[in-house]
Structure 1
Amino acid sequence: MKKGVLKTRNKTLLITVFLSTLMIEFILVFLNGCSDGEGLAFDIDKQAFVVKQGCVCGGGLQFSSEDAADEFSVIYNKNVHAFWYDSYNPSTLEINNLPTCCNVVLREDTLFLRRLPLRPNTSYEVYRMSGCRSFPPLTIKTDKQGRVVSAGRGLQ
């Protein structure tokens, strides 16, 4: 009778250790997915979005303006690279030279553009999700050539 109880305890212990290890692995992978850089800024001289230590389009950038026709997103192209383990996760996204790992999505259609479709004389609110964090929106304004002339939080 004691052998049966001992075998049951050993099996229970083995299953508990296995499930605990599995949970720890899941948490580590989840935390890695949440660490896709910090913040969002715009470098006017380089005409590029910048994040600290992460992929700028990893969690997605959403661009919105007063006109709904001007709204679009920049998303990570999962078909090109493995997201978490990719050595080419750009922390800079130039508006005139998009990396191949970032795609523009306009009205649910993926566009294979190498430039952001920013309209002249338009203000955009740019939202960035990074893993499981969101950041306050960044406001950018374009001039009549479509070049970003100002960027900051809470611009009018």
Structure 2
Amino acid sequence: MQKTLLIRQELEALAVDYWYEVDANGGVRAHEFYTADAIFSTSMKTRQGQSQIQDFYRIRRQRGPRLSLHIVQNFRLEQVQDQQARCGYIMSLYAADGEPVLPSRPPIMIAAVKETLLRQPDRSWRYSERTLTALFRDNTPTTG
């Protein structure tokens, strides 16, 4: 039980750190959170491999200023094996093009996120698969 709780805390912290990298740094290092052949699927597109994920965030930054906040809620550890874990959570996305301070609005999307992670030789976790499924959306464009 204690080991499971520790893994849950590690994976929740990793999810928060990942989305912080996207929000605070434009995802410059986001691809480093994934395995070499990882799959990242959104409602708009599926990207496979670190290079496609890196390109996605590079193109996103080239569009110009964008403010985003990805909020991780209701984190659940669904399955743990020695070298693999599965988890899920709800993500609320607040985002708009431009520089702060922007008008306050409800989230532009609330999504169910499912992730599979693999334990690396250095004992860290990396995403091998992440799928975002939109549950609620408004008409504000996402970059996904």
TM-score bucket (shorter structure):
under 0.3
Q: By percentage of residues, which structure has more helix?
A: 2
Greater per-residue strand proportion: 2
TM-score, with structure 1 as normaliser: 0.26
Per the normalisation by structure 2, the TM-score is 0.27
